[in-house]
């Protein structure tokens, strides 16, 4: 082994380096670095396929379970419950996947390689946004599998393929936006377990206190009031409108607005707390 660097190489000149150093990261560089980080996250997923268990199993299990347990009670029979429930499961699955984004980021941040990321002249947001871009794949798998499971069980969405595709797209976009909130939790919590715990506390009320599984009309007034403003309800209704009727309703607008608000709040917070971690 010859580790001595060949003397023929050009000598490093500090003064020139100082003069040519850039003072900030451009938007283009930031995008490129985010894509590199996404590449890394995808490699990681490919080498640890167990990461796909939650996105693969949950849709299959929950769809079957909820349909048979609640179907008869709520809609009379399983088949007529499916159009109501499948969009609910899509929303729930995508939210659970978001939570995994935060937990995995926290785990990742504890590894040595994050020290190197911090020491490199790259955009501070890239190590956070990269895994989230890669997670688009997971949201897509989760949403698609849920619809597929529904189809197997006899769900025939009236919105047609275009409606279903639009519904999946909306779910993926929402998942990606909400993941910023969990990413923020990931940067402030002490450990991956803490992230999991905090995220569960946010997630359970949001998904179950919504119209995902039951019609709002059956709820007591005070609960119905909360359910109506819960963004998850908007997502569920928007998904239903798209998948079942191929209608782009105002609910889609509300959902996208909620997404924009979440990103606007939590993306800067995440970057700030990631920086402070140093």
In the numeric block, the tokens 């990931």 are attached to 186
| Neighbour-count burial of 13, counting CB atoms closer than 10 A to its CB (0-12 exposed, 13-18 middle, 19+ buried) | exposed
Considering beta carbons, is residue 126 or 153 the nearer one to other proteins?
126
250 is an interface residue for other proteins by CB under 8 A? no
Interatomic CA distance for residues 185 and 269, integer angstroms? 10
Q: Which is nearer to other proteins, 84 or 128 (CB)?
A: 128
Alpha helices in the chain (DSSP H): 14-20, 27-47, 53-75, 78-109, 113-119, 126-152, 160-188, 192-208, 221-229, 231-245, 250-276
Is position 221 an interface residue for other proteins (rule: CB under 8 A)? no
Minimum CB distance to other proteins, residue 198 (Å): 21
Cβ at position 270, least distance to other proteins in Å = 18
Q: Which is nearer to other proteins, 118 or 245 (CB)?
A: 118
- Chain residues 26-85 in contact with other proteins, contact rule CB under 8 A: 29, 32-33, 36-37, 39-40, 43-44, 47-48
Site for other proteins in 88-117 (CB under 8 A): 111-117
Question: Within positions 115 to 144, which residues make up the interface with other proteins, using CB under 8 A?
Answer: 115-122, 126
Residue 184: which region, alpha, beta or left (left: phi > 0; alpha: psi -120 to 50)? alpha
Smallest distance, other proteins to C-beta of residue 23, A: 6
Nearer to other proteins, 116 or 156 (CB): 116
Nearer to other proteins, 12 or 73 (CB): 12
CB of 167 closer than 8 Å to CB of 239: yes
Nearer residue to other proteins within complex by CB, 10 or 217: 10
Which of 111, 141, 140 lies closest to 40 in space, CA to CA?
111
Work out whether 272 is an interface residue with other proteins (CB under 8 A). no
**Per CB under 8 A, does 3 bind other proteins?**
yes
Q: How far apart are CA 176 and CA 97, in angstroms?
A: 9
Q: Which two tokens stand for residue 203?
A: 């997630």
Return d(Cα 212, Cα 66) in angstroms, integer: 11
Query: Which residues in this chain contact other proteins in the complex, by CB under 8 A?
Result: 1-5, 7, 9, 11-15, 17-18, 21-25, 29, 32-33, 36-37, 39-40, 43-44, 47-48, 111-122, 126, 276, 278
């Amino acid at each position: 082994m010859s580790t001595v660097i060949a003397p023929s190489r050009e000598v490093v000149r500090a003064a020139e380096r100082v003069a040519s150093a850039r003072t900030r990261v451009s938007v283009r560089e930031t995008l490129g670095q985010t894509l590199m980080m996404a590449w890394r996250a995808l490699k990681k997923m490919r080498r640890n396929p167990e990461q796909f268990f939650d996105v693969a199993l949950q849709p299959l299990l929950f769809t079957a379970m909820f349909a048979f347990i609640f179907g008869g009670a709520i809609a009379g029979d399983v088949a007529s419950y499916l159009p109501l429930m499948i969009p609910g499961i899509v929303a729930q699955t995508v939210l659970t996947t978001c939570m995994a984004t935060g937990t995995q980021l926290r785990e990742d941040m504890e590894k040595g390689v994050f020290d190197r990321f911090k020491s490199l002249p790259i955009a501070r947001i890239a190590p956070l946004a990269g895994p989230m871009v890669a997670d688009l794949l997971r949201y897509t798998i989760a949403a698609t599998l849920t619809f597929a499971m529904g189809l197997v069980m006899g769900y025939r969405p009236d919105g047609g393929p275009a409606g279903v595709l639009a519904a999946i797209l909306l779910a993926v976009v929402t998942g990606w936006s909400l993941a910023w909130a969990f990413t923020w939790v990931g940067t402030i919590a002490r450990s991956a377990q803490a992230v999991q715990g905090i995220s569960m506390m946010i997630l359970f009320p949001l998904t179950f206190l919504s119209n995902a599984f039951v019609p709002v009309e059956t709820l007591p007034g005070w609960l119905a009031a909360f359910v109506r403003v819960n963004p998850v309800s908007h997502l569920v209704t928007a998904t239903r409108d798209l998948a079942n009727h191929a209608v782009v309703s105002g609910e889609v607008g509300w959902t996208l607005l909620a997404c924009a608000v979440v990103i606007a709040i939590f993306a800067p917070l995440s970057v700030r707390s990631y920086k402070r971690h140093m």
